[in-house]
Amino acid sequence: MITVIVLLAVCFLAYANGANDNFKGVASLFGSGTTSYRTAISWATVTTFAGSVAAIFLAEALVGKFSGKGLVPDALTASPPFLLAVALGAGAAVILATLLGFPVSTTHGLIGSLVGAGTAAAGPEVDFAVLGQAFVLPLLVSPLLAIATGACVYGTLHRGRIRSGITRNTCVCGGLENPVALPVVASGAAAFSRPSSTLTLTVGDNAACAARYDGRVFGVDAGRLLDGLHLLSAGAVSFARGLNDTPKIAALLFAVHALDLRWGLAAVASAMAIGGLLNARKVADTMSHRLTSMNPGQGFAANLSTAALVTTASLHGLPVSTTHVSVGALLGMGLVTRQTRWKPVVGVLAAWVVTLPCAALLGALAYVLIR
């Protein structure tokens, strides 16, 4: 019975992960006006699921790291109550952030919950040296590396576009504004105001019209080529996220042998997909519109940086956060364009700081209640 409960708790964590993380790979598609929200989340779901399937063959190292081995006593890593507390603590922290619209790290949630439940169960036997070397260092370095990579990639592509003679159009919307005549009362009799037409001229936003690029690259229209590459890069980020996150969550199932490897990853992947489809909208708005403005070229640069860093980390068994890397890449691009919106960015950074101790507290509380 306890094994079934652990399975449900892990699926809850996977659902929360999908709701908070699935849209991050395609945020630039929606934010730049390249696709609609529905198209973006559909593409994210398909490519994230593909990454989850690939994790069976390419990301076994992450399964071992997130089973808790080395961080807590070995006896705990196979204890269903401990693993149940870890899943509930991490899932509760991530779903709370999702409902508030903050893009946070499930990796932070898992580490915090492992530490919290481990401390409640084993006290001083938690190895904080392992915590620093295997988990904290990669998580601290990855967003800084993403900022630098995002800035360099966008700067390089921007200079290449100018040298190639490809120009970017700015959308300007013009038209006549026709006010509606409203009745007014004058000397006890009804009268009508006379409407007048005025010429209006406004710069269109991304919702009205997307920036387009004029020119040709190897005989192909530059705008169409960029849209295609942008879509592929977003898919690559989502694939990398599925590859990196699925084994971290599924590790909790394998420790108690709840399911074999393939069925466990399939269960996690399915729950992640459902979470993204049903609960991603608030985080999508934050990632796509609140942190920085972007056009398709800038979004492509951020995605390229994120996909490269997360895929490399997954193949080497490094527990980086897709959230930290994707937000870092957007921030790096925003620093170059000078369009970063610092107030929302500071809010997101504060949520990152709070995630780990919040998950630790929830994990410890869950273990105390379950025990």
Model confidence pLDDT, tens digit, residues 176-205: 555 555 555 555 554 545 555 555 555 444
In whole angstroms, give the CA distance from residue 284 to residue 145. 23
**Structure confidence at residue 103 (pLDDT):** 92
Q: How many CB atoms lie within 10 A of CB 206?
A: 19
The answer as to whether 200 is a domain residue is: no
**Structure confidence at residue 281 (pLDDT):** 95
Structure-derived torsion over alpha carbons of residues 129, 321, 341, 332, reported in degrees to the nearest 10: 90
Q: How many CB atoms lie within 10 A of CB 342?
A: 12
Single-letter residue type at 100: L
**Structure confidence at residue 199 (pLDDT):** 52
Low-confidence ranges of the chain (pLDDT < 50): 174-175, 190, 192, 203-208
Domain total in the chain: 1
In whole angstroms, give the CA distance from residue 215 to residue 205. 22
- Comparing CA positions, the residue from 124, 116, 123 lying closest to residue 369 is 116
What angle, 0 to 180 degrees and rounded to 10, lies between the N-to-C axes of helices 80-100 and 342-370? 150
**Structure confidence at residue 207 (pLDDT):** 42
The answer as to whether 15 is a domain residue is: yes
**Structure confidence at residue 223 (pLDDT):** 72
- Site of tokens 């466990």: 264
What is the Cα gyration radius of the chain?
24
Q: How many CB atoms lie within 10 A of CB 157?
A: 17
Backbone angles phi, psi at 200, to 5 degrees: -115, 145
With contact defined as beta carbons under 8 Å apart, do 85 and 53 qualify? no
The answer as to whether 39 is a domain residue is: yes
The answer as to whether 327 is a domain residue is: yes
The answer as to whether 105 is a domain residue is: yes
Handedness of CA 177, 180, 181, 183 (dihedral sign): negative
The answer as to whether 71 is a domain residue is: yes
Write the CA distances from 85 to 135, 253, 275, 365, integer angstroms.
20, 13, 20, 8
**Structure confidence at residue 132 (pLDDT):** 64
The answer as to whether 362 is a domain residue is: yes
**Structure confidence at residue 138 (pLDDT):** 67
The answer as to whether 194 is a domain residue is: no
**Structure confidence at residue 260 (pLDDT):** 72
With contact defined as beta carbons under 8 Å apart, do 277 and 133 qualify? no
- Site of tokens 């499930």: 106
Handedness of CA 49, 52, 53, 58 (dihedral sign): positive
- DSSP code of residue 183: E
Task: Note down the domain range covering 365.
Answer: 2-166+225-370
